[in-house]
Amino acid sequence: MNEIEAYHSLPSGQRIEVVWGDVTEEHVDAIVNAANSHLMHGGGIAAAILHRGGRVIEEESLAWVKQHGPVEHDQPAYTSAGKLPCRFVIHAVGPVWGSGDEDHKLGSAIEGSLRLAEQLELHSIAIPPISTGIFGFPRERAAKVILMTIKQHFIDRPDSGLGRVRLTILDRPTLIVFLRDFEKIFKEV
């Protein structure tokens, strides 16, 4: 079972949580997949989502790319969730470290995921630490970008229907970094 390590309730009613656990076990409306632009589920979180959710996610991913082309950082794709305990998988393309303008690309992937969840009229979403695994984005830097992007999203949209955002992190060292920055960033809200 995934455990809440820290949380903050915003004045506008949304709740941001840092969770130690497996994003594929989250009982939320949508989970975010740390995807590549062609939605190939070859490794990391993407492979875990496919393994647990089933081939339907891969089939829908390939159909999305065939219809819309490669996924951009600021325009995530979405599919059904197959056998996962959520309704949707939002496929956000985070940057590969060293590709240039990584902070902006990561922030765009997070903001795009939150916007898409709102467009789908979802109430809850679980986001892993995108790009910190096989894409090599330093976790200390990623934590700041991801947390600040979420904070700014709700400052800009206090009436958002997205009521709960869970940062779900399986890797303990990454979790510790996110918890440290979470306290700094959200104590000011």
Per-residue pLDDT of 73-107, as tens digits, reads 999 999 999 999 999 999 999 999 999 999 999 99
* Beta strand spans in the chain (E): 3-9, 15-20, 30-35, 77-80, 88-93, 124-127, 164-169
Structure-derived torsion over alpha carbons of residues 20, 11, 31, 144, reported in degrees to the nearest 10: -60
Confidence at residue 44, expressed as pLDDT on a 0 to 100 scale: 86
Amino acid at residue number 69: G
Q: Determine the average pLDDT of the residues in 8-35.
A: 96
For residue 149, pLDDT over 80 is answered with yes
Q: Which amino acid is at 30?
A: A
pLDDT recorded at residue 129: 97
Please give the mean pLDDT across all residues of the chain.
Answer: 95
Residue written as tokens 């892993």? 128
% of the chain beyond a pLDDT of 70: 98
What is the predicted pLDDT for the residue at 43? 83
Q: What is the pLDDT of residues 22-34, one digit of tens each?
A: 999 999 999 999 9
Contact 78, 30 (CB under 8 A): yes
Residue ranges of domains in the chain, CATH in brackets: 12-186 (3.40.220.10)
